[in-house]
A and B are shown apart, each in its own frame.
Chain A
Amino acid sequence: MKKSLAFALAGGLTALAMSPALAQKIRIGCTSSADCGTAMVAADNGIFEKMGLDVEMTRIALNSNIPPALLSNSLEIGGPTSSVFLQAADGGLDLVAVAGASYMHEASNEGTVAVIRDGVTIEKAADFAGKKVGVPGFGAYIHILFVRYLMENGVDPASVNLVETSFPSMPDVIRTGAVDAVLSGGPIVARILESKTGHLGPKFVSELGGDAPIIFYAATRDWATANPEAVQKFRAAIAEAAALIEADREVAIASVAKFTEQKPELVRATPPSKYKPEITADGLGWWLDLMKKQNLLQGSVDAANLLAP
Chain B
Amino acid sequence: MSAAAVPRLRVNWLGLALPAGLLLALELWLRLSNITTESLAPPSEVFVTLLENLANGRLPAATLKTLTGAFGGLLMGGIPGLLLGIAFALVPALDRAMEVTIEALRPIPSVALLPVALMVFGFGYGMEFAIVGKSCFFMMLILTRAAVRGVEPRLREVSRVLRLSKPAMVWKIILPAILPRLFVAFRLGASLALVVSVTIEIAVNPQGLGYEIMTAREALRPDLMLACFIWIGLVGLGLNAGLLLAQRKLFGRAALAGEGVK
Give chain A's interface residues, CB within 8 Å of chain B: 5, 8-9, 12, 16, 19, 29, 31-32, 58-62, 65, 68-69, 71-75, 166-172, 175, 187-188, 191-192, 194-195, 197, 260-263, 266
Contacts and interface: CB of A to CB of B under 8 A. Distances in A.
Given A19-B126, A59-B215, A69 B220 contact: no
Contacts, number: 98
A167 B222 CA distance: 13
B203 A61 contact: yes
Nearest to A168: B38
B204 A61 contact: yes
Residue among A61, A62, A188, A197 with the highest chain B CB neighbour number at 10 A: A61
A74 B123 contact: yes
Would you list the 8 A-B pairs with minimal beta carbon distance, nearest first? A195-B36, A74-B122, A72-B122, A32-B218, A261-B219, A74-B123, A168-B38, A68-B118
A31 B36 CA distance: 24
A292 to B, nearest CB: 25
Contact of A71 (B76, B119, B202, B204): B119
Contacts of A194: 36
Given A72-B123, A167-B218, A168-B218, 12 more contacts: A12-B76, A29-B206, A58-B123, A61-B202, A65-B118, A72-B118, A74-B123, A168-B217, A187-B220, A192-B36, A195-B36, A261-B215
Nearest to B120: A72
Interface residues of B, number: 34
A142 to B, nearest CB: 16
A89 to B, nearest CB: 16
B79 interface: yes
Residue among A72, A73, A167, A171 with the highest chain B CB neighbour number at 10 A: A72
The DSSP consensus for interface residues of chain B is helix
B75 interface: yes
The DSSP consensus for interface residues of chain A is helix
Residue among A5, A168, A171, A188 with the highest chain B CB neighbour number at 10 A: A168
